[in-house]
Amino acid sequence: MNPSSENHQQQQILPNIHNPLQFTIVLPPSDTNSNPNSSITNPSNVNRLLSLGIPRKRRRGRPRDTQPSNQVCSLPSELSENSLYSNDFDRNPNFRSNQAAQLDVSDEIIVINKEATSEALIALTAGFPADILTEEEIDASVVSIVGGIEQVNYILIRNHIITKWRENVFNWVTKEMFLDVVPSHCSKLLDSAYNYLVSHGYINFGVAPMIKDKIVAEPSTKSNVIVIGAGLSGLAAARQLMSFGYKVTVLEGRKRPGGRVYTKKMEGGNRVAAADLGGSVLTGTHGNPLGILARQLSYPLHKIRDKCPLYRLDGQPVESGVDAKVEVAFNQLLDKASKLRQLMGEVSQDVSLGAALETFWQVDGGPANPEEMSLFNWHLANLEYANAGLLSKLSLAFWDQDDPYDMGGDHCFLPGGNGRLVQALAENVPILYEKTVNGIRYGSDGVQVVVSGGQVFDGDIALCTVPLGVLKSGSIKFTPELPQRKLDGIKRLGFGLLNKVAMLFPHLFWGTDLDMFGHLSDDPSRRGEFFLFYSYATVAGGPVLMALVAGEAAHSFEYMAPTDAVKRVLQILRGIYEPQGIQVPEPIQTVCTRWGCDPFSLGSYSNVAVGSSGDDYDILAESVGDGRLFFAGEATTRRYPATMHGAFLSGLREAANISHYATNRASRAKIEKNPSKNSHACASLLADLFREPDLEFGSFSVIYAKKNADDKSMAVLRVVFSRPVKKAQEDSRMDQQHSNNLLFQQLQSHFNQQQELHVYTLLSKEQVFELIEVKGGDEMRLNFLCEKLGVKLVGRKGLGPAVDDVISSIKAERSKRKPASTSSTLKSVTSRPKSVTKQKLVRKAKILRSNNSPFSSVNKEMLDKAVGSNEGSSTTQLTQNVEDKVGSSCAAFNGSPGGGATPIKSAVNGGNDSIPNVSMGSGSIMNVNCPVISPNLNVGSSVIGNINFSNPPNIHGASAHDADLVPPSNVELDGEIKNEVL
């Protein structure tokens, strides 16, 4: 085949592929010399996916007429039909079995059917990239190793499950439905994909009868969850949690469900109609979960037609040529603003979109006449409507950060109003109305939610779904106060305003050929006042017309008398229609919204204000209180903010998070129910995990869950103090100040026989890499830990419940993990890779040890002089006593004295070396000479004293550990590097 014809074949359209979304599919040229797994492990390949020609934020009110009718999708070769279904397979159906003897089936890409491309497109509409895992999937450890054939097979199975459910969203999809099409050697991947999709609400959700039957009538003994707010996010979470078997109580301040989604019944003069006063437009139907709900309820959707004529001040329509000219100029300004922010870099975060547009408009010469100026202002008003915010307050850098995630498909109205979806979601959900929440108290034992009147609701977990405007107002008191990180995110994000005037007329005078039309203003400060009209006549059940108020006008509208507002709207309508000979009647009923004054919303929806970014949506979504208090709502999703489907999806997301935390907490509780075995079981678990640390350097070792790709995720650091000690000197004698003779006998015996002391702390992965980069050996690393990072080293029990979650996730992840094989070798750990934000470094290190570690400087001779010679000490007894005492009180963890112990200082000969005070048990004190390092040690319920390094750090609740003996060493690493996609 010649190159030209080969290229032509590679670029050809594939019309024969089953393609329910009506996309045009273009397969990319293949590179025969490339790594077949390269696109799987490279996140940048997501840029080669769909380019959806859909209305962006700039087009929310008026979709672009030049929108392409066909979308173009370029899928990576691993998921294309050309790569999955070769000619050999087509010619010989037994090709797979014929090759079985030569190939390991675990290294094969499985064949489910010949529609992998269309299934990838359907999965894409649900938010799944075609060739990489999402961060949530990585966190959930859906595969044992990120990247490679196993990941490809998982993606194929996942996409197939999603597609099968989308084909019939009325049914509950079971795992057994796929046993015949998924090869047996991939059964674990089937389990992983199915369980992930169900638990995270990607399939089997909604209000179909078979779905509703899965809601447990009598909740199990699982946690009691209090959901604050009965909006779309709260209702979605409540239903999902109920299907998981949780007891749920929803507290709603209003007298109705739905929150900012509110369908008002309008009636009069034998006319009845429904008008959406809040969220109204389903922005995109490809993958939109609200579209799926409508389908389950057999509710048809009405496509909003693109035709949107604009009318001048005198009521005359704007000429199409002038309209198109200004629209092109406006979009060119937006493109220039986009290029400007790229040139400005981080500086653009402090610049508003409005300032950039105004500057470019002036530089380009400004409007040619007043009509063009009014048109330009109309487009600005439409942009402010799309973002519910003033352009002067929108971030130039990130105002449209969510555009890549817009749902594809038509924008639609739901006949009868979106309240029909709300009512279906609220059915059989226990909602208590008129319960205004004033306070939320959360802690390790659970939550308390205080409502107006002083009533208190107790629960194990709370989900807060109140709008961002309410969080900004501070009307809910959180105890303890929310972390500063979250408070800052709440402050930075913008929360804008959109208002409406709904009018029910005696008859339809504006015609049935339009779903929307616009009106210009000559006053820039009032450009958003009734700038756009939506016709609900085809979906409301009566002649309803809706006038929108955006931008500055939306704020002044809050204080405008309703009669004045209606009078102004009628004046505009009569100016448009009466010159055409059409009489505009008085409306039968009108409703004016005041979302800014509504105490349960205090605005409409969120936006990225100057100084903010998409990261703030993630910050608002973070749980607090060790998995006790969670957050959902449109302002907690960076992909779909300011949308109804974003709110709904955030509820499903948090239901999955709540279930995850609750399950881990229950697992820990089972261990803690048996206190006689608890300390040994937990100590053994931690020791087992550290037998194969993820990182080792010097006397430091680190374990973490590889599924947590984020640099901010937590890791457990262990520091080992050890040294082979000399035989006790005959003249050693007991220091008369020490009263607990048995304990010191045990400690001496431990140092003689076990030669090791383990202390721990919790660090982020980012801090771990910073620690690795510290020069000067273990002593400098320890000083960096304590002086620069300000951490405290503690015994195992002193780690607290926060570390229990980390340890549980590590254990769960390792139980699924398969050993990775790679030829990469790391000879030394010197610096953190520059691309650490794109990939995380996992080092499996072999450690060559020698007895010259500075951490092994506990001097036996000095110990004997301090405590005397003690015979017959028991190593087993020591381990039990010390493990039972480590970190047994908050006082030990916090470094404050407990149990009435008072440190007693005594002199020990040791040159210029510092003299530590070590208190053990409930008041016994001893002195240990540590010539090089000296942290503060807490063992038991009292202060353990000061072991001073040159720069003293803190070690609390130190545990003498009898497992995983590791001699002291200098470290030479001979290990592996594994790249994991973030």
Q: Is the pLDDT of residue 97 over 50?
A: no
Lowest mean pLDDT among 44-53, 156-165, 340-349: 44-53
Domain that holds residue 194: 105-204
Strands 976-981 and 839-844: antiparallel
Whole-angstrom distance, CA of residue 787 vs CA of residue 854: 18
Residues 633 and 620 in one domain: yes
Residues 393 and 356 in one domain: yes
Residues 246 and 324 in one domain: no
Q: What is the torsion angle, in degrees rounded to the nearest 10, for the CA atoms of residue 366, residue 388, residue 645 and residue 250?
A: 180
Residues 681 and 794 in one domain: yes
Confidence band (pLDDT; 50, 70, 90) for 452?
very high
Residue 7 lies in a domain: no
Helices (H), 696-758: 741-753
Degrees to nearest 5, angle at CA 301 with 210 and 584:
145
Would you state the structure tokens that stand for residue 341, as one six-digit string? 């922010």
Highest mean pLDDT among 345-359, 463-477, 754-768, 900-914: 463-477
Residue 784 lies in a domain: yes
Q: Is the pLDDT of residue 837 over 80?
A: no
Confidence band (pLDDT; 50, 70, 90) for 260?
very high
Confidence band (pLDDT; 50, 70, 90) for 680?
low
Task: Return the pLDDT at 878.
Answer: 33
Residue 480 lies in a domain: yes
Residues 111 and 235 in one domain: no
Residue 656 lies in a domain: yes
- Percent of the chain whose pLDDT exceeds 90: 48
The amino acid sitting at 811 is K
Residue 862 lies in a domain: no
The amino acid sitting at 601 is S
Confidence band (pLDDT; 50, 70, 90) for 909?
very low
The amino acid sitting at 11 is Q
The amino acid sitting at 896 is S
Residue 149 lies in a domain: yes
Residues 355 and 489 in one domain: no
pTM over 0.85: no
Residues 396 and 435 in one domain: no
Alpha carbon of 760 to those of 747, 793, 802, 919: distances in Å?
Answer: 19, 5, 13, 19
Q: Is the pLDDT of residue 968 over 80?
A: no
Alpha carbon of 886 to those of 680, 753, 890: distances in Å?
Answer: 12, 20, 11
Confidence band (pLDDT; 50, 70, 90) for 99?
very low
Strands 544-549 and 529-535: antiparallel
Residue 156 lies in a domain: yes
What average pLDDT does range 126-135 have in this prediction?
89
What average pLDDT does range 679-697 have in this prediction?
78
The amino acid sitting at 814 is R
Whole-angstrom distance, CA of residue 795 vs CA of residue 157: 44
Residues 223 and 368 in one domain: no
More confident residue, 36 or 468: 468
Task: Return the pLDDT at 876.
Answer: 35
- Percent of the chain whose pLDDT exceeds 70: 65
- For 284-306, the pLDDT digits (tens) are 888 899 999 999 999 999 999 98
Q: Is the pLDDT of residue 558 over 50?
A: yes
What average pLDDT does range 134-142 have in this prediction?
91
Helix-helix angle 675-690:801-816, to 10 degrees: 60
Residues 475 and 608 in one domain: yes
With residues binned 3-state (H G I as helix, E B as strand, rest as coil), the percentages for the chain, rounded to 5, are 40, 15, 45
Q: Is the pLDDT of residue 911 over 50?
A: no
At residue 592, the 3 state secondary structure works out as: strand
Whole-angstrom distance, CA of residue 952 vs CA of residue 934: 6
* Number of neighbouring beta carbons within 10 Å of residue 84: 20
Residue pair 600/254 in contact (Cβ under 8 Å)? The answer is: yes
Strands ordered across the beta sheet of 544-549:
310-311, 516-519, 529-535, 544-549, 499-504, 589-592
At residue 93, the 3 state secondary structure works out as: coil
Task: Return the pLDDT at 683.
Answer: 67
Residue pair 82/30 in contact (Cβ under 8 Å)? The answer is: yes
More confident residue, 810 or 542: 542
Residues 329 and 380 in one domain: yes
Q: Where would I find the beta strands (DSSP E) of 209-343?
A: 224-228, 247-251, 263-268, 271-276, 282-283, 302-303, 310-311
Q: Which of 802, 834, 865 is the last residue of a domain?
A: 802
CA-based nearest residue to 542, from 775, 751, 729, 265: 265
Task: Return the pLDDT at 946.
Answer: 36
What average pLDDT does range 637-655 have in this prediction?
97
Whole-angstrom distance, CA of residue 867 vs CA of residue 863: 6
Q: Is the pLDDT of residue 246 over 90?
A: yes
What average pLDDT does range 552-570 have in this prediction?
96
Residues 153 and 237 in one domain: no
Residue 158 lies in a domain: yes
Lowest mean pLDDT among 440-454, 497-511, 694-708: 694-708
What is the chain's length? 982
Q: Is the pLDDT of residue 938 over 50?
A: no
Q: Which of 802, 821, 837 is the last residue of a domain?
A: 802
Q: What DSSP character marks residue 474?
A: T
Whole-angstrom distance, CA of residue 142 vs CA of residue 151: 9
More confident residue, 769 or 829: 769
Residues 762 and 693 in one domain: yes
Task: Return the pLDDT at 670.
Answer: 66
- For 215-237, the pLDDT digits (tens) are 766 766 678 999 999 999 999 99
What average pLDDT does range 919-924 have in this prediction?
34
What average pLDDT does range 311-335 have in this prediction?
92
Task: Return the pLDDT at 166.
Answer: 94
- For 776-799, the pLDDT digits (tens) are 888 888 888 888 888 888 877 677
CATH of the domain at 179: 1.10.10.10
Confidence band (pLDDT; 50, 70, 90) for 817?
low
Confidence band (pLDDT; 50, 70, 90) for 847?
very low
Q: Which of 383, 405, 427 is the last residue of a domain?
A: 405
Whole-angstrom distance, CA of residue 118 vs CA of residue 23: 9
Looking at the 3D structure of the chain, how many domains does it have? 4
At residue 16, the 3 state secondary structure works out as: coil
Q: Is the pLDDT of residue 870 over 60?
A: no
Helix (H) or strand (E) holding 652: helix 644-672
Confidence band (pLDDT; 50, 70, 90) for 105?
low
